[in-house]
């Protein structure tokens, strides 16, 4: 039985406006390493053979010299320019992936990705062809109207917080993205699972992520991530 061939697309093109920092969040230093370093390190440690780093056109050379070469990442096969929205950047990454069975799509601003999460996702995608890391909500959730008045309270056991990586059979997600960009559908796409849900007949399985697997968006997030990475 042949081994699975896996690729990873790591997105590192965010502006990080809410961080209130002159340095883009993916390059902020934690324990003398840029935030982006930790995601790339996790995928290399997991044995991902092909890592596609997606950033802005202006930062390609910076990423090559100051991150990939400086820290000796040998599995980063391509650094490509992303697009206007997140889903444009994912599509640019998908287009340069070489032949593989499964592709992991991950936000580089989630540095606390663990080997356990990656294992859960690989097991899930092997079985279901499409899965995402996620965690059940701990708090009661309210759906509100445009004036922030509560309209309904969904059953808490059925509400999960979706994270990354989101992992798919490569041919499935590539076809879904091809179909979306070839169509005239106007959708508000916030994650890759939505593309698969809307443009294929496959359901997306939620697999256990981690409450530590936060996306760094604000200075408070940075403090939490720093504590976690320092302990590791």
pLDDT given for residue 21 in this prediction:
57
- Answer yes or no: pTM beyond 0.85: yes
Q: Strand pairing of 205-208 and 130-136?
A: parallel
Strand order in the sheet with 160-169: 76-81, 50-55, 6-11, 102-107, 160-169, 130-136, 205-208
Report pLDDT digits (tens) over 166-181: 999 999 999 999 999 9
pLDDT given for residue 1 in this prediction:
36
Report pLDDT digits (tens) over 124-174: 999 999 999 999 999 999 999 999 999 999 999 999 999 999 999 999 999
Ordered domains of the chain (ranges, CATH): 6-231 (3.90.550.10)
What's the pLDDT band for 228 if we cut at 50, 70, 90? confident
Mean pLDDT of the chain: 92
Is the pLDDT reported for residue 16 higher than 60?
Answer: no
Share of the chain above pLDDT 90, in %: 80
Under a CB-based contact definition with an 8 Å cutoff, are residues 75 and 104 in contact? Answer: no
């Amino acid at each position: 039985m042949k081994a699975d061939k896996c690729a990873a697309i790591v997105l590192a093109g965010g502006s990080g406006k809410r961080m209130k920092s002159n340095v883009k969040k993916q390059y902020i230093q934690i324990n003398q390493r840029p935030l982006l370093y930790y995601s790339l390190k996790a995928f290399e440690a997991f044995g991902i053979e092909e890592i596609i780093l997606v950033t802005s056109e202006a930062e390609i050379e910076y990423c090559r010299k100051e991150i990939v070469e400086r820290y000796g990442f040998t599995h980063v096969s391509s650094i490509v320019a992303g697009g206007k929205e997140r889903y444009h950047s994912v599509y640019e990454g998908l287009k340069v992936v070489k032949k593989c069975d499964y592709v992991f799509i991950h936000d580089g601003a989630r540095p606390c990705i663990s080997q356990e999460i990656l294992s859960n996702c690989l097991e899930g995608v092997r079985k279901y062809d499409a899965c995402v890391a996620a965690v059940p909500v701990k708090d009661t959730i309210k759906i509100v109207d445009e004036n922030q008045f509560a309209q309904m309270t969904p059953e808490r056991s059925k509400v999960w917080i979706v994270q990354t990586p989101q992992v798919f059979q490569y041919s499935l997600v590539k076809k879904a993205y091809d179909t979306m960009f070839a169509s005239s559908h106007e959708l508000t796409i916030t994650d890759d699972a939505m593309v698969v849900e809307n443009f294929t007949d496959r359901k997306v399985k939620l697999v256990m992520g981690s409450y530590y697997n936060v996306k760094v968006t604000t200075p408070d997030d940075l403090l939490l991530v720093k504590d976690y990475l320092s302990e590791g």
